[in-house]
Amino acid sequence: MAGWFTKTRATIEAEAKKTLGKGIFRRCVGCSETIKDEEFVRNYEVCPNCGHHYRLRAPGWVELLLDEETFVEHDANLHSKDPLGFVDSKPYPTRVTAAQKKSGHTDAFVSGSGKLNDRDVELGLFAFHFMGGSMGSVVGEKITRTIERGLANKAPVLLLSSSGGARMQEGALSLMQMAKSVSALGKLREANIPFISILADPTTGGVAASFALIGDVNIAEPGALIGFAGARVIEQTIRQTLPEGFQRAEFLLDHGMVDAIVPRLEMKAHIGNLLSLWLD
């Protein structure tokens, strides 16, 4: 068995979930402390000891960001099709069905209207647990509709990204969603309606290369992985060693790619302050 020091971060995170008590306790990958699982849940998947940020599911984000019982979901009836008849080790429709059962969502994006500090907003959230938050035609359509509702209602648009990028099973149709979403944002900007982009771990591929990094304000979570291609691919392409921390939120802040790094538990207050300064 490999020694602790040889294990990858992914292996450590997987083993952290196998602590005594079958889910009652969890070992934090950030500080190695064993903490009750309920403390992570109560703290919106942020370690109460060291502040390490784990991925938070869409319902948790809705609860964290919006005023209580104000969220009204839209477009939940949209379902992915299989335009290419794509098959790898499994047919694409089989993968979609499995992802729906596992995640509880119809696709990798949840959108709706709600209030943040009693202000109307349009909110869109990636569900990373659905096929790695990949962006196919349904996701692109729901993002575009979220932006269009913001335009129609003159309400700020908040999009939270956590995605591996475009969904390969839909080929070029998934890549078209990049242009589609950015085009919709252009109309929002012309109307001087705020678009705030929240970058969670990971925000990569076609999502990072389109709408995620062109917010009027780009806010990242601490330690979030943000970038287009993977670091190993870039190193092999340019034949150079990348700087330490490359593609992490802190590196992007230092190089002007994001405007702020905000801990999750402070996110609602930070966005509320931004909107007050902007609109009041």
Indicate the pLDDT class of residue 2, thresholds 50, 70 and 90: very low
Residues 81-125: tens digit of each pLDDT:
999 999 999 999 999 999 999 999 999 999 999 999 999 999 999
Report the percentage of the chain scoring pLDDT > 70. Answer: 92
Whether residue 152 sits in one domain with residue 40:
no
Residues 38 and 124 in one domain: no
DSSP characters over 220-254: E-TT-BEESS-HHHHHHHHTSPPPTTTTBHHHHHH
> Which pLDDT tens digit goes with each residue over 159-182?
999 999 999 999 999 999 999 999
| Shared domain check, 132 and 10 | no
Q: Is the pLDDT of residue 15 over 90?
A: no
50 and 60 fall within a common domain: no
What's the total number of domains in the chain?
2
* Mean pLDDT on 124-134: 97
Band of pLDDT at residue 230, cut at 50, 70 and 90: confident
Answer whether 203's CB lies under 8 Å from 164's CB.
no
Handedness of CA 54, 60, 63, 66 (dihedral sign): positive
Per the structure, the complete domain to which residue 5 belongs is given by 1-54
d(CA 52, CA 39) in angstroms, rounded, equals: 13
If asked whether residues 140 and 24 sit together in one domain, one would say no
Mark whether 84 and 190 lie in a shared domain: yes
